[in-house]
Amino acid sequence: MTQFAGKTFWLVGASHGLGREVARQLDQSGARLVLSARSEDALDALAHELRRAKPVPVDVTDMDSVRKAARLAGPLDGVVYNAGAYEPMRTQDWDSSAVLGMSDVNFTGALRVLGQVVPGFVKAGRGDITLVGSLAGYRGLPASIGYGASKAALISLAETMRHDLKDSGVTVRMVNPGFIKTRLTDKNSFQMPQLMDPEDAAGHVVAAMQSRRLRTDFPRPFSYAIKAFNLLPDWLVYRGK
């Protein structure tokens, strides 16, 4: 038996890539899962593959859809927010629709989902919240309009919630992966250091969920390099720019 056995987790962003692999590993650990994403067919296929899972489609950009999904999810022990949108974009190529879309899925969508579960967790004095961010949220990077800013906001949200929920019985953690081979990173034309398979990345997420540590960054040493870059003074980072 594991600490996940018999517990119910709402996994938002479960249909493909990292989310799908996290669902598989949590299922193998005995968890009951509520699987959410926009793709109903993909959710149904995954739910049939797992032992204790029910599909609950959701559009995190739509408040009514989130409220309905939360009702259908029922009582929860934890939530994993893994919904994500990504379009590589430089400032010179600004596309407001794409930028707002990324922000709405990556950050505002998390606010909608958390608004449905956090009050219940606080009232019950227990609950588990895992937010999946990105190493791209640590410092502004080239061609990351929309994506980097939304992930930075998600990191700040997790840090604030961790302060506020101290001694509440509710655990909040942030998981920041590097590059994972998915439909999103397939859009990149540049070399991606330490590109991970979704299965390996999911192992890091599930391991992090077994700890109360606030932050888990991976893979090493790439995550160390990103965090070191974040510590550099602005005059050095933006020299000549």
200: amino acid identity, one letter: D
Q: How many CA atoms lie within 13 A of 48 on its CB side?
A: 6
d(CA 186, CA 64): 31
d(CA 34, CA 76): 9
Closest alpha carbon to 148 in 102, 204, 94, 98:
102
Residue 5, token pair as written in the block? 């056995």
State yes or no: is 147 an active-site residue.
Answer: yes
Active-site pick, 138, 147, 224, 238: 147
Helices (H), the chain: 17-28, 40-49, 63-73, 96-103, 109-124, 147-164, 198-208, 222-231, 234-237
d(CA 141, CA 133): 15
Catalytic residues: 147
